[in-house]
Amino acid sequence: MTVKGEKKKKTIKTIKIDVDKCNGCRACEMICSAFHAAPKYSSNNPARSRIRVIREPLKDVYVPVYAGEYTQAECAGRDKYTIDGKEYDECAFCRASCPSRSEFKEPDSGLPLKCDMCEGEEEPLCVKWCSVDALSYEEREEEVEEAVEQEQLETGLESLANKYGLQQIMDTVARMSQKD
Ligand code: SF4
Ligand code: SF4
């Protein structure tokens, strides 16, 4: 059910990607994985990065892609783009952590990775480290109905319930509320 609520200000954070400027250096992958290492900056491994650069040097194709939402099932149909005569592979622009590919999964546990815009930092580190300005950061304020957030909450709960079972989610919530 959708309940309309008060309007709230929300900050929308965007990273603009200029694929024509990207040279495939992978500095963005390095700094992202180092920032998210535990302890911070103790190691770097692009496989743990929340940005991956789809690289096909022979076709001069370099596409930085940010990790988005986790999805349980791959799409039934896939997309394929040709832009300015360059053909991009299936799913090249997709941000999902999806069972059909290895990107955006923590290598040891297989848990999905998602870009958090470098929470706590003034500016995303991948943007800072891109020496050719292929990435640029923008922020804007938008007014949103609270009901939109309610829908997002329900979608998140539904995917957790699908993954772990409703009873396990309810037991966990009951356990957490007893801790207070
Ligand atoms: S740091 Fe910039 S140029 Fe290098 S791969 Fe990432 S987006 Fe491309
Ligand atoms: S914004 Fe931060 S978390 Fe997101 S891909 Fe860039 S470095 Fe990683």
Same-domain status, 131 and 152: no
- In angstroms, the CA 71 to CA 79 distance is 16
Same-domain status, 52 and 67: yes
Which one of 26-30, 84-88, 147-151 scores highest in mean pLDDT? 26-30
Same-domain status, 160 and 128: no
Is 1 among the domain residues?
no
When computed from its CA atoms, the radius of gyration of the chain, rounded to whole angstroms, is 19
What pLDDT is attached to residue 177?
63
| Domain around 176 | 145-180
What pLDDT is attached to residue 5?
64
Please check the confidence at residue 176 and state whether its pLDDT lies above 70. no
- In angstroms, the CA 25 to CA 56 distance is 12
In this prediction, residues 57-85 reach a mean pLDDT of 92
Same-domain status, 155 and 136: no
Q: What is the DSSP letter of 70?
A: B
Is 61 among the domain residues?
yes
Q: What band does 154 get if pLDDT is binned at 50, 70 and 90?
A: confident
In this prediction, residues 134-140 reach a mean pLDDT of 96
Q: Is 135 in the pocket of ligand 1 (CB under 6 A)?
A: yes
Integer angstrom CA distances of residue 124 from 4, 35, 37, 66, 135: 33, 10, 16, 12, 10
Please state which of the ranges 19-33, 77-91, 160-174 shows the lowest mean pLDDT: 160-174
What pLDDT is attached to residue 3?
54
Q: What band does 178 get if pLDDT is binned at 50, 70 and 90?
A: low
Same-domain status, 123 and 173: no
Please check the confidence at residue 180 and state whether its pLDDT lies above 50. no
Residue nearest to atom 8 of ligand 1 (CA): 22
Residue nearest to atom 2 of ligand 1 (CA): 130
- 73 DSSP β-pair partners: none
Nearest-atom index, ligand 1, CA of 126 = 1
Is 77 among the domain residues?
yes
